[in-house]
Amino acid sequence: MSSKAIEKFGSAYEYAGFWIRVGASLIDGIIILCITVPILYMIYGDSYFYSDDFILGGADFLVSYVLPFVATVLFWMYKSATPGKMAVKAIVVDARTGNSPTAQQSVIRYIGYVVSTIPLFLGLFWVAWDSKKQGWHDKMAGTVVIRPKNRGVQSVEFTES
């Protein structure tokens, strides 16, 4: 599969690397927790945090699993990025066309996160070694993550005159 995404946008874009994507994921995780934890606390109270059960009930499943899945897929489809990726100016695009990912690509990409984490997160770490910075979830879905080379204010070196 050839990646036309960079070619479509020209030399103004580059593949987003491992650490910037980790940062975006941390931002997304914090946002998800800020939304889901209060909802789960309102439904289950303190018992939610002290339970040994993996899933406490239907509401827990909906809030903890379905809501993040739906939100993430919709963000990828309509904004080409989650809030974390927006914060670091990265976008998810179809590797062949450079367009926003389709619904099918977005669902496969999300499920690919699970597949990528099973063998000791190897599929996520793959981003660090891959020439196109694709994790297994990207390869499964046919996507790449890119960001502008010129992202705004850069550090400037001053010389004495």
Task: Provide the pLDDT confidence category of residue 117 given band limits of 50, 70 and 90.
Answer: very high
Q: Taking the CB of residue 157, how many other CB atoms lie within 10 A of it?
A: 4
Q: Which residues are within 8 A (CB) of 160 and not within 5 positions of it... i.e. 6 or more apart?
A: none
Chain-centroid distance, C-alpha 119: 19
Query: H or E segment at 93?
Result: strand 91-94
pTM: 0.87
Within a domain: 74: yes
As a whole number, mean pLDDT of residues 109-130 equals: 97
pLDDT in tens, 30-81: 999 999 999 999 999 999 999 899 899 999 999 999 999 999 999 999 999 9
The reply to whether 81 falls in a domain is yes
Whether the predicted pLDDT of 109 surpasses 50: yes
Residue 90, in any domain of the structure: yes
pLDDT band, residue 161 (cuts 50/70/90): low
CA–CA distance, 46 with 59 (Å, rounded to integer): 15
Does the residue 32 lie in any domain?
yes
Domain-embedded: residue 82:
yes
What's the domain range around 116? 5-50+57-148
Number of domains in the chain: 1
158: in domain? no
